[in-house]
Amino acid sequence: MSASPVRATVDFGKQGKQYGHLYVPYSYNLGGWANLMLPISVIGRGTGPTALVMAGNHGDEYPGQIAIMRLLRELNPDHVTGRLILIPTLTMPAAKAATRLSPLDGKNFNRTFPGSPTGTPCDVVAHYLSTVLFPLADIVIDIHTGGRSVDFEPCAHMHLVPKGPQRDAMLAGTEAWNTDFCFLYADIAGTGLLPVEAESQGKTVITTEMGGSENVTALVHAETQMGLRNVLKHLGILAGKPVTRETLGLGPTRWVQALAWEDYRFAPESGVYENLVPLGEDVDAGQPVGAIHFLERPDRDPIHVVANTAGVLIATRAPSIVAQGDCVACIAHDVDPRKLP
């Protein structure tokens, strides 16, 4: 594939701390030679692993963007062994517009990998990550939330990559976030995901779903910021001893998985969704987790969305208005990931 048109104003090989931008050329009616400017910071000292830390893959997911902005202001090279490459906001037009999809090209950035150097801005950035930044990194961290559409029980999560050192490193890194739940998830909505591309390049990929909906609580911000720092300490890139749930006086993290399509529940009709079960609560098989009401037919009984199997409600619908086919619930099941084939 041809070289990327993206131009970086930082030198990835240089020691010390740098702020700069990725210039992503694009064109619009009032800017024939315009660039998207994505802030990037590189902090390098000595030899050690490289972590590429990113958020704002989906624009309307802010806790990770804030956590990375804080980190890049507060860290200096003395805190680091190896290299940190920090990109707070991957899809800037979407983050400014508070949308999941980029308003520039209508794309879901997290479905554009491995990208293309000749496509739309999302394709071009995905290609730059796949061909320039992932090869520089040992660890790839992509901080998500449920955005405006889904509310998650805050959790670090991962794909079940093939058994071996990569999976072991991902399990340990995921647990280092110290969330109450860790989550093995499946791709039920398409291909072209950032973590899949990074996994296929053999990277230790660590991702999250830190809450969701438009209201971000102080607790979720704190969990995101503390989790990120602890993961970087666990990896040996940030100075200091990582804390564990045990040293924090917490019980072990609860590993759950939702790998079957049936674990994800979709609205059978459009209407107004009522969550019937609090996030993180256990449900029985056949138990209603939500009810869809019909504004124009108050005489009509609501339709219940039920759990297909017993498990824990790990994610729910955030906005009350639902359209037919929206994902409104995810039911996950307890698992010991170290016993999986």
Q: Which of helix, strand or coil describes residue 339?
A: helix
- Indicate the residue among 172 and 196 with the shorter CB distance to Zn ion: 196
The distance of closest approach from Cβ of residue 54 to Zn ion in the complex, given in angstroms and rounded to an integer, is 11
* Cβ distance to Zn ion smaller for residue 144 or 167: 144
Binding flag, residue 107, Zn ion (CB under 5 A): no
Rounded CA-CA distance 49/235 in Å is 8
Q: Does 127 bind Zn ion (CB under 5 A)?
A: no
Q: Which two tokens stand for residue 242?
A: 């990582």
Report the nearest approach of Zn ion to the CB of residue 264 (Å). Answer: 15
| Cβ neighbours around 222 below 10 Å, total | 12
Q: Least distance from C-beta 94 to Zn ion, angstroms?
A: 10
How would you class 323 by CB atoms within 10 Å of its CB: exposed for 0-12, middle for 13-18, buried for 19 or more? exposed
Stretch that binds Zn ion, among 118-126, 136-144, 155-163, 225-233 (CB under 5 A): 136-144
Stated length of the chain: 341
Q: How far is the CB of 173 from Zn ion (least distance, A)?
A: 18
State which residue, 79 or 148, has the beta carbon closest to Zn ion. 148
Site membership for Zn ion, residue 58 (CB under 5 A): yes
Are 220 and 63 contacting, i.e. CB atoms less than 8 angstroms apart? yes
Q: Which of residues 143-162 bind Zn ion (CB under 5 A)?
A: 144
Name the residue with tokens 């104003």: 9
The one segment of 40-48, 139-147, 172-180, 262-270 that binds Zn ion by CB under 5 A: 139-147
Q: Binding marks (x or -) toward Zn ion, 31..50, rule CB under 5 A?
A: --------------------
Tokens of 299: 């005489």
Whether 156 contacts 142, CB under 8 Å? no
The residue range among 57-65, 81-89, 184-192, 238-246 that interacts with Zn ion, by the rule CB under 5 A, is: 57-65
Least Å distance, CB 211 to Zn ion, is 12
Instruction: List strand residue ranges (DSSP E) for 72-227, in order.
Output: 82-87, 139-144, 150-152, 155-158, 181-185, 204-209
Type of residue at 8? A
User: What 3-state DSSP class applies to 185?
Assistant: strand
Q: How far is the CB of 67 from Zn ion (least distance, A)?
A: 14
The minimum distance between CB 212 and Zn ion, in angstroms, equals 9
Would you say 144 or 229 has its CB closer to Zn ion? 144
Nearer to Zn ion among residue 61 and residue 153 (C-beta): 61
Alpha-helical runs (H) found in 218-308: 218-234
In the shown chain, the binding pattern of residues 60 to 79 toward Zn ion, with x for contact by CB under 5 A and - for none, equals: -x------------------
Q: Which of 15, 28, 6, 170 is nearest to 93 (CA)?
A: 28
Least Å distance, CB 2 to Zn ion, is: 29
Residue with tokens 């009509």: 300
Q: Which residues bind Zn ion (CB under 5 A)?
A: 58, 61, 144
